[in-house]
Structure 1
Amino acid sequence: MARPLNALPSFDELKAMAAERPEELESLRKRMTDEILRDAPEDRRRRLEGIVFKINAERRRCKNPLQACIRISQMMMDSVVELREAVNTLGSQPGRQPLHAEAPRTADVVPFRRQAGS
């Protein structure tokens, strides 16, 4: 079962761990990552393990945590751009229906009758 959101230490505690006990923060990160991978559906686990591998490789290549954060953020943005391009390509293929085809709008129009004295 996935870790409940309240099991994560507070921001202030995480900040203190980063400053004073980085090995403890790293242990927490590894433990939570392992839990997510363990609880992931089998059909998605391999892909998630690949993503974790790429993230860890980027972290090792970086000189400091800020550089790692920036590079991992760029990886996420690249993924979003790739997804957007795939969706746009899918929607523009001939013979394909739009993902959210709108049904024609119809309605019964009920006239208001004017009351005497108005």
Structure 2
Amino acid sequence: MAEHSLRLPSFDELKIMAQEEPEALEELRQRLTAQLIQNASPRGRRRLQGLAFVIDAERRKAHNPMQACIRLSQMMLDSAVELQASLDLLRTTTRPLEKTRDAEIIPFVRRRSGS
């Protein structure tokens, strides 16, 4: 049975849910995460499942929501720094493209038939 795509509520709706129905907000988070993982490619699915596990572990270890937010933000920053380092390494280890010589462009002249 195909599951319908869930709609992400507006910021204001999410804020109200966080204040008045935190359990419903957590259920929505879990369902959206599961939907995202299910819709991924098999290779991506495995990576996303691992990432979701790490995120859930960090959230459980945190003493409060703010600490969880800070920990997850630090994880994202670390990942961005690692990506930047990989890109820098790639840039320095690949040889630069050879320069091409200037070329003369010769336009095609349309010849009229019968001339």
Aligned length: 102
* Equivalent residues of 1:2, 1:39 under 8 A apart: no
> Within 5 A, what are the aligned runs for 1:1-118?
3=5, 7-93=7-93, 96-98=94-96, 101=97, 104=100
Q: Give the Cα–Cα distance (whole angstroms) in 2 for the partners of residues 23 and 58 of structure 1.
A: 18
1:8 is paired with a residue whose SS is coil
Identity rate, percent: 51
Work out which structure has the larger RCO, using CA pairs closer than 8 Å and 6 or more positions apart in sequence: 1
2:95 is paired with a residue whose SS is coil
- Root-mean-square deviation (Å): 2.4
Instruction: Give the direction of change, closer, same or farther, for the CA distance of 1:104–1:45 in structure 2 (3 Å limit).
Output: same
* Equivalent residues of 1:58, 1:72 under 8 A apart: yes
Q: Which runs of 5+ in 1 are unaligned?
A: 109-118
Q: Give the Cα–Cα distance (whole angstroms) in 1 for the partners of residues 99 and 27 of structure 2.
A: 52
Deviation at 1:17, TM superposition (A): 0.5
TM-score of the aligned structures, taking structure 2 as reference length: 0.78
Q: Give the Cα–Cα distance (whole angstroms) in 2 for the partners of residues 71 and 17 of structure 1.
A: 23
Q: Give the Cα–Cα distance (whole angstroms) in 2 for the partners of residues 74 and 2 of structure 1.
A: 33
* Equivalent residues of 1:37, 1:48 under 8 A apart: yes
Q: Aligned AA for 1:23?
A: E
Q: Which runs of 5+ in 2 are unaligned?
A: 105-115
TM-score of the aligned structures, taking structure 1 as reference length: 0.76
Instruction: Give the direction of change, closer, same or farther, for the CA distance of 1:104–1:37 in structure 2 (3 Å limit).
Output: same
4+ aligned runs moved over 2 Å, structure 1:
1-4, 101-108
